Amino acid sequence: MSAWANPRLMSAAFEDFPIRLAIARGPAATFAFLTLSLIYPRNFALPQDINFAITCSNMIEQKPPQKSFSAAILNWYDRHARRLPWRSLPGEQPDPYHVWLSEIMLQQTTVVTVGPYFDKFLTLWPTVQDMAAAPLDDILTAWAGLGYYARARNLHKCAIAISEGYNGQFPSERDQLLALPGVGPYTAAAISAIAFNKSETVVDGNIERIISRLYRIDTPLPSAKTEITTYAAKLTPLRRAGDYAQALMDIGATICTPRSPNCGGCPVSDFCAAGTTGDMERFPVKAPKKVKPTRRAVVFWLERLDGFVLLCRREEKGLLGGMMEFPSTEWCEEEIGVEEAMNSLFSNGFQKWTDRPSEKELVRHTFTHFHLELRPVVVLIKGTDTSILPSGQWVRPEDFGSYALPTLMTKVLRAVVKGRG
């Protein structure tokens, strides 16, 4: 009987020689090792610096040893942890308020961008009780430019819930954290692990990338999230779970990057299936992106003779909720003309109080699910009866910094200023 067809001989070969699971150098190398191990079952020695893997489907399951994997991660973190404004120093107890604030800010936002905002918020509101006592307008104004403004509204609601429901003390359990406004599964796990050292599985975008490469997960995101979390949970240590989570975040941000990962600097490269097959950048697999539609609107810069400009507040719910804006038509895919826009937005008789409208350079902006094109129109108002205009506040342009203007509206402001030379 051929050696390849003899299960006992195959089993003996696997038992006699150490094989590093999930570390492949290609099918040819695997075949060569198996052949030699069968021909010389007692004399063949595997070189220490060469790792092999059985790539046959369903033959051997990939399982990086949990203790050695997490130990390698934590050893790396002890030497290379990033120093970040919200991160406690070694030996210090993390501040749950700092952890929560930073995690909310870091959603869909880079570390570089968040740093100054985090410092500004701590200066304005040193404690969660201070934030709870602040008006929502102040929170939105300080948040302006950070994007995803629903986070700011939920930040304020959560601060109130912590201040009133927990006497200013953050709960430590994941289920209690999940009940707070704006706190989802990831944020709850992160706060519980980092601030209270609970053994929770934390999975952000960086960690998704590491786990998907570690196991070469072919399921595309977002469908793969459950599978990735299941694998990640098996590797999460019981001790130092917070440091472990932050270490993976750091490795994902600085080593296991989306493009050109530095596998030579990775402390767990020996466990990585994608790293050994050389197709790291293929993971995580992502579903094809849907084509974003483009919506359009006319936005009005309404200016009185004294230089004041009209600002309106958006509804609390929905996109840019509670933020200030220049009045505009509805954001629709259909194009709308300036005259039609004026007739739809303002009361009858508005034109007799104005000079001829002046159009400015088109403003383009992209949200998560659609592109937006705004056509700025400057209208100088000569009359004093402003009751025919949308309700809002008249503000001097030099005072705009005191209002919660989102990035989109600062683009409109720049287009108007540029158009005036």
What pLDDT, on a 0 to 100 scale, did the predictor assign at position 349? 57
Least confident of 151-160, 208-217, 350-359: 350-359
Q: What is the mean pLDDT of residues 108-125?
A: 95
SS3 for 5-32 is: HCHHHHHHHHHHCCCCCCCCCCHHHHHH
Tokens of 246: 């932050």
Q: What is the mean pLDDT of residues 186-193?
A: 96
Q: What is the mean pLDDT of residues 93-122?
A: 95
CB of 3 closer than 8 Å to CB of 16: no
What pLDDT, on a 0 to 100 scale, did the predictor assign at position 5? 37
What pLDDT, on a 0 to 100 scale, did the predictor assign at position 152? 93
Share of the chain above pLDDT 70, in %: 80
Q: What is the mean pLDDT of residues 362-388?
A: 85
The closest of 293, 294, 332, 328 to 311, measured between CA atoms, is 328
- The angle at the Cα of 286, spanning 281 to 290, to the nearest 5 degrees, equals 135
CB of 304 closer than 8 Å to CB of 393: no
What pLDDT, on a 0 to 100 scale, did the predictor assign at position 236? 95
Cα distances (angstroms) measured from residue 67 to each of 77, 211, 237, 240, 263: 15, 16, 7, 12, 21
pLDDT at 365 over 90: yes
Give the whole-angstrom CA distance, residue 185 versus residue 290. 25
Q: What is the mean pLDDT of residues 50-67?
A: 45
Residue 384 confidence class, pLDDT cut points 50, 70, 90: low
Mean confidence (pLDDT) of the chain = 83
pLDDT at 101 over 90: yes
DSSP states along 358-416: EE---EEEE-SS-EEEEEEEEEEE-SS--TTSPS-EEE-GGGGGGS---HHHHHHHHHH
DSSP states along 67-118: HHHHHHHHHHHHHH----TTSPPTTSPPPHHHHHHHHHHHTTS-HHHHHHHH
Least confident of 40-44, 108-112, 328-332, 402-406: 40-44
Residue 389 confidence class, pLDDT cut points 50, 70, 90: low
Residue 257 confidence class, pLDDT cut points 50, 70, 90: very high
Q: What is the mean pLDDT of residues 80-95?
A: 91
Tokens of 5: 């067809």
Q: What is the mean pLDDT of residues 125-152?
A: 93
pLDDT digits (tens, 9 = 90+) for 395-416: 999 999 888 888 999 999 999 9
What pLDDT, on a 0 to 100 scale, did the predictor assign at position 64? 67
Enumerate the active-site residues: 103
The closest of 288, 282, 286, 280 to 256, measured between CA atoms, is 280
CB of 381 closer than 8 Å to CB of 303: yes
Q: 47 or 79: whose pLDDT is higher?
A: 79
pLDDT digits (tens, 9 = 90+) for 204-240: 999 999 999 999 999 999 999 999 999 999 999 999 9
What pLDDT, on a 0 to 100 scale, did the predictor assign at position 20? 36
> Of 61-65, 66-70, 353-357, which one has max mean pLDDT?
66-70
What structural domains does the chain harbor? 1-61 (no CATH), 66-282 (1.10.340.30), 294-419 (3.90.79.10)
Share of the chain above pLDDT 90, in %: 62
pLDDT at 58 over 50: no
What pLDDT, on a 0 to 100 scale, did the predictor assign at position 401? 86
| Residue 328, helix vs strand vs coil | strand
Residue 289 confidence class, pLDDT cut points 50, 70, 90: confident
Give the whole-angstrom CA distance, residue 296 versus residue 306. 30
Least confident of 161-175, 272-286, 312-326: 312-326
Residue 351 confidence class, pLDDT cut points 50, 70, 90: low
What pLDDT, on a 0 to 100 scale, did the predictor assign at position 392? 84
Phi/psi at 378 (5° precision): -90, 130
Tokens of 178: 């999940």
What pLDDT, on a 0 to 100 scale, did the predictor assign at position 319? 87
CB of 371 closer than 8 Å to CB of 362: no
The closest of 248, 235, 280, 239 to 262, measured between CA atoms, is 280
Tokens of 133: 């006592």
CB of 257 closer than 8 Å to CB of 283: no
Least confident of 120-134, 191-205, 371-385: 371-385
Cα distances (angstroms) measured from residue 17 to each of 57, 124, 277, 349: 20, 63, 22, 90
| Residue 194, helix vs strand vs coil | helix
Give the whole-angstrom CA distance, residue 126 versus residue 231. 38
Least confident of 8-22, 103-117, 161-175: 8-22
